[in-house]
Amino acid sequence: MIRVGTRGSKLALAQSGMIADEIARLTGEQVELVEIKTTGDGTTVPVAQLGVGVFVNQLRDALEREEIDIAVHSYKDLPTAQPEHLVIAVPPRADPRDVLIASDGRTLSDLGPGARIGTGSPRRIAQLNALGRGFECVPIRGNIDTRIGRVGDDLDGVILAAAGIKRIGRQAEITEYLDPLVMLPAPAQGALAVECRKADMTSARISSKLNDRYAQAAVAAERALLQRLEAGCSAPVAALADVAEGASPDEVDLYLRGAVGAEDGSVIERLSTTAALPDTGDAGAADMAARAAAVGRALAEDLLEAGAEQLLKLDPALDDC
């Protein structure tokens, strides 16, 4: 029996169920989902006020106590500092974009000044305000169903991650997929982290079979940028990396975009970079990810030189989720 730890939300169970099914397919073993309540569950307090690792710590504690063999996280919830005794695999990434769900099937261009858009994300708020459209950003928490339920009631629309909407089967309600040129997503958005103890060789081998080296490299670049900026998920930082086959069979091309903004939208610093990474197959996945991370750190340095440091509130208490 392989025990997979998960949060108990509808989205978390859907994500972890996908991983459990894949593990069962790969191994032929029985897989049990073990629900674990985290600090971030069941509260409407803004994430930035809850502190570090609110959706992660209890799952990691269960791993360390050997109550579970594998933990499944939304990767963007993880602190950027990775414990050395735990190892992560990254399955193929889902759609990283943000989406709008608005009343009457409207898009952002259909919404006029004063339209009330639900989001508690400083990143999304900064980019919405930067459009200069006069939207009113309304802080919200709660699960996806709760947020969507407010559309047409006290909100004109909500902005959510495409991956989460699709994983719970509500994609038919999406009224617009937001172009990253308009709304650059959060680092690691749409990616899952399958985490296990490094010393547990059986679980480590299982998780490695789930790993997608392109997704791993993309997430490594985005999170390295985030870490170098000393910012967490509560900061108005965005990043998106695309990894595609390169000009030769033994390399891939990495295209990384990053942005840091003032929450009022008055300033948005956006930069991008490209790099060629060596691709020697799954055996070289760790090296590819390390080189992608170096690209992320370099772009973060460029953002800092462009003025990003002045746009970030570098409160150590809010460094990570």
Active-site positions? 77
Place of tokens 């390399």: 251
Closest C-alpha to 269, from 235, 316, 303: 303
Query: Residues 6 or more apart from 28 whose CB is under 8 A from it?
Result: none
DSSP-assigned beta bridge partners for residue 257:
240, 272
Contact at 8 Å (CB) between 320 and 233?
Answer: yes
Contact at 8 Å (CB) between 231 and 269?
Answer: no
31: three-class secondary structure by DSSP: strand
196: three-class secondary structure by DSSP: strand
87: three-class secondary structure by DSSP: strand
Q: Environment class of residue 209 by beta-carbon count within 10 Å: exposed (0-12), middle (13-18) or buried (19+)?
A: middle
- The CA distance from 243 to 214, in Å, is 6
- The CA distance from 232 to 236, in Å, is 9
Q: Where are the beta strands (DSSP E) in 122-184?
A: 136-138, 157-161, 176-177
- The CA distance from 227 to 296, in Å, is 9
Contact at 8 Å (CB) between 126 and 263?
Answer: yes
